């Protein structure tokens, strides 16, 4: 039968699509903190669960002018919901420009480990075999490409000193110029944003637990994520993103890095402590692997999470509800 439909006459307009809550999620991924592994998972999950994965090909512009912020926020906010937007970009305050503040998620890692991964990735890429390091650093001179990591640190080359070592905190502090300056102001603002705007900031060293909590908090995005992650086929893809030709600096060089990155470490341990508290609340134990041998003065030993506790004052769902209301 071909003709005019009588559906609207008989039934009225079709019901509106009921969106899951939250329907706007931003993963402003920190470089060299497992983000390519997570994006691989998100590609699979977006097809499986039908959410809109909005990615960006811009990898090297994390700081934006006011106009660039407005334009990006406008583009993100008009994406079809539910969406998950992901890009290497410092924290954006949507409400400052009249937009609805999305739910933020992120993952960080031990700052020295992140720095070393980035240092060698820029030079030698990863196991995928593509010359992606050449694409990212096309003008790097050969003597710079093969610069010994110890020389870089001990002789205070720009790449191995501040402000370039002040890398993780600006992702959480935001776009304010002072967020780029190593110091207490940026550190405290980053902590405040973690508390007020991020649903979850996980630790790469405990990625499986991060995925478990993401599945719990955002099931319409992350349902079955752990089983996909543990699938041997996915593991093969993930292994290809491991940086090659990494070497470990001398104890003296590591100690210098640690001193230069003291604000990064204060932030890292703050986030780690919050993450462990979250795990305890949801009954997850921390199974911390034995750390590889390294100088005792380098980093305090990892925090061991206590046994799960019962919190009778506030049940899990109420706690989640409160976070969503922030």
Which residues are marked as active site?
88
Give the 3-state secondary structure of residue 83: strand
Residue that is written with structure tokens 């191995």 in the block:
160
Residues in the chain: 326
Helix ranges (H only) for the chain are 7-11, 35-49, 66-77, 111-124, 132-136, 142-145, 149-154, 169-173, 184-197, 207-217, 219-222, 225-230, 232-239, 251-260, 262-281, 316-325
- Please give the structure tokens belonging to residue 214: 């993401």
Cα 55 to Cα 100: distance, rounded to the nearest angstrom: 19
- Beta carbons within 10 angstroms of residue 172's beta carbon: 27
Residue 109 near residue 118, CB atoms below 8 Å: no
């Amino acid at each position: 039968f071909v003709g005019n439909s009588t559906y609207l006459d008989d039934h009225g307009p079709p019901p509106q699509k009921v969106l899951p809550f939250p329907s706007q999620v931003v993963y402003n991924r920190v470089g060299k903190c497992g983000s390519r592994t997570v994006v691989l998972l998100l590609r699979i999950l977006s097809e499986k669960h039908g959410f809109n994965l909005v990615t960006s090909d811009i990898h090297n512009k994390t700081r934006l002018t006011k106009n660039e912020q407005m334009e990006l926020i406008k583009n993100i906010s008009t994406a079809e919901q539910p969406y998950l937007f992901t890009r290497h970009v410092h924290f954006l305050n949507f409400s400052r420009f009249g937009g609805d503040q999305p739910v933020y998620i992120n993952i960080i890692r031990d700052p020295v480990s992140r720095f070393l991964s980035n240092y060698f990735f820029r030079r030698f890429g990863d196991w995928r075999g593509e010359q992606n390091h050449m694409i990212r650093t096309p003008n790097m001179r050969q003597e710079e490409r093969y610069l010994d990591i110890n020389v870089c640190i001990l002789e205070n080359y720009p790449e191995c000193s501040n402000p370039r070592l002040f890398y993780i905190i600006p992702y959480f502090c935001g776009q304010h110029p002072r967020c780029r300056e190593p110091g207490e102001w940026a550190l405290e603002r980053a902590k405040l944003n973690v508390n007020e705007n991020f649903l979850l900031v996980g630790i790469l060293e405990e990625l499986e637990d991060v995925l478990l909590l993401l599945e719990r908090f955002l099931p319409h995005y992350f349902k079955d994520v752990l089983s996909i992650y543990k699938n041997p086929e996915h593991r093969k893809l993930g292994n290809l993103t491991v940086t090659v030709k990494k070497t470990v600096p001398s104890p003296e060089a590591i100690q210098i890095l640690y001193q230069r990155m003291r604000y990064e470490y204060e932030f890292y341990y703050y986030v780690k402590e919050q993450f462990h508290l979250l795990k305890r609340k949801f009954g997850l134990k921390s199974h911390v692997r034995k750390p590889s041998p390294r100088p005792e003065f380098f980093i305090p030993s990892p925090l061991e999470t206590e046994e799960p506790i019962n919190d009778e004052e506030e049940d899990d769902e109420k706690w989640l509800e409160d976070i969503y209301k922030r």
